[in-house]
Amino acid sequence: MVGNTSENNTKKQDLVIIGGGAVGMAVATHVQRHGNYNIKVLSKDSHTAYSQCGMPFVLAGDIPDFNKLIVKNLQFFKDMGIDVRLNTQVNSIDLENHTVHTQIDTVRYDKLVIATGSSPSIPEPLKEFIKMDNVFTLRTLSDGIKIQNNLEKSKNLVVIGAGGIGVEIAVAGVKRGISTTLINRSKNVLSHNLDSDMSQILQNHLDSKGINLLTGHTPVSINGSDTAESVTIKENITGKIKNISVDTIVISTGVNPEVSLAKNAGISVGESGGLLVNNKLQVKYDNKYLDDVFAGGECAQVYDFVTGNPFVSQLASTARRMASVIAENLLEKTSTFTPITNPWIGVIGDYQVGNVGLTEKTAYKNKINTVTGSSTGFTRAGYYPGGEKIYIKLLFSNRCLSGAQIIGRKGVKERIDGLSLAIRKKASIDDMLKMETCYTPPVSELVDPITYAVKDAYKNMDNQKYD
């Protein structure tokens, strides 16, 4: 019988965690400190407990070594009594018999956590070239080390895909003195995070850094035998073909939830492609949610706070919160995971770039009528040296804040965090007009730029329309 009935005894239960990333290791350490489990972590990775988010900054030279990204080493987990097995491929899960099967043995569980993360999404025309010795994706620490070794002997870098990781890698290339081309199918960089007007601010900055930015272009082939020598791209509008010489290629065109293992075991997959879980992050099997199998991170489906739509969050901060919910439920302290606003920030060159909630694109897709307000302000009083411009765009729907985008050299994260809470609290434009902000010349203007963006949206309320 699938499912597990709790027993009142002190015997240690067996907790098996598949995946040694942000969710897996956070669950393992939390439960080991506060629970009564024998814990095994099975990971196909060759490293564990490291920061994926920091890898582009090692490539840029901002962090001196990939080893600096390892938060805890294997000895730390061994000393805690956690059995971490790296380079271990789990081949199947048997929910009926409470076992998982690796390439070398069978492991029994009382409780199971699936934290298999995601895998790179490669455009169909490029899949046949991914095994070339200078074509890479960036998902693991090993990937990062391979890319760095290749960049050390490269003069020409091509990055395919201008999402968050892609633009960070492109900036890393020019910081290393490498001729860098960034290719993007969309006309806008960070098109999932920014509207076109805000994206243009960032694109101008990337141009100023010396990146050869080719938006509105699609790669059609990578040329060479074992080693890539050039990339052939096509301009989307004109169909014009162009070849770009290359020593290193990094493909950064998104990820897919890694759900094949769970799906093959009969666990349900949601419409977003992530595993279907309830608010306790328990998986669904045979039309019911199991009390002994959990899933979290990039392999699990979550829900958007504003639209209610299912999606898969790729944020480390989301993964960490999901790990806490799973751990608390394993410890029989009821905890739930609710819909999220998904606040994001990146550092792109000299700019901090953040967004939360809706963009105009997602609003239009979901038939949500929005009003926008924008402002350009400064991070310090006008007379105080060192002030920098900050660009703010807010979106309101039904008079409530529903989205925000901010670009600046300083002051982005704290504003995005505050606006994320305002969205969750369904703050109205009238509430936002009454918002009080602190002031001192070295860190702010007397009137915060957010206030001017709110006032701009208020003026636009009478002309509400789709853009």
Could you give the angle at the alpha carbon of 224 between the alpha carbons of 223 and 228, nearest 5°? 80
As a dihedral over the C-alpha atoms of residue 80, residue 292, residue 51, residue 182, rounded to 10 degrees, the angle is 160
What's the one-letter identity of residue 327?
A
What's the one-letter identity of residue 275?
L
CB distance 221 to 132 below 8 Å: no
Q: How far is residue 320's CA from residue 165's CA, in Å, rounded to a whole number?
A: 19
For 340, residues 6+ apart whose C-beta sits below 8 A from its C-beta are 302, 303, 304, 305, 313, 318
Q: How far is residue 274's CA from residue 263's CA, in Å, rounded to a whole number?
A: 10
How many CB atoms are located within 10 Å of the residue 436 CB? Answer: 7
For 185, residues 6+ apart whose C-beta sits below 8 A from its C-beta are 216, 217, 218, 236
Pairing of strands 13-18, 111-114: parallel
Which of 53, 299, 400, 438 is an active site residue? 53
Active site residue 53: yes
- Give the number of C-alpha atoms closer than 13 A to the C-alpha of residue 421, restricted to the C-beta side: 6
For 391, residues 6+ apart whose C-beta sits below 8 A from its C-beta are 198, 201, 374, 375, 376, 406, 407, 408
For 358, residues 6+ apart whose C-beta sits below 8 A from its C-beta are 306, 307, 366, 368, 370, 395, 397, 402, 403
Among 31, 319, 355, 367, smallest CA distance to 194 is for 355
For 380, residues 6+ apart whose C-beta sits below 8 A from its C-beta are 386, 387, 388, 441, 442, 443, 444, 445
DSSP E strands, 30-178? 37-42, 83-85, 90-94, 99-102, 106-108, 111-114, 118-120, 135-136, 156-160
Task: Just list the catalytic residues.
Answer: 53
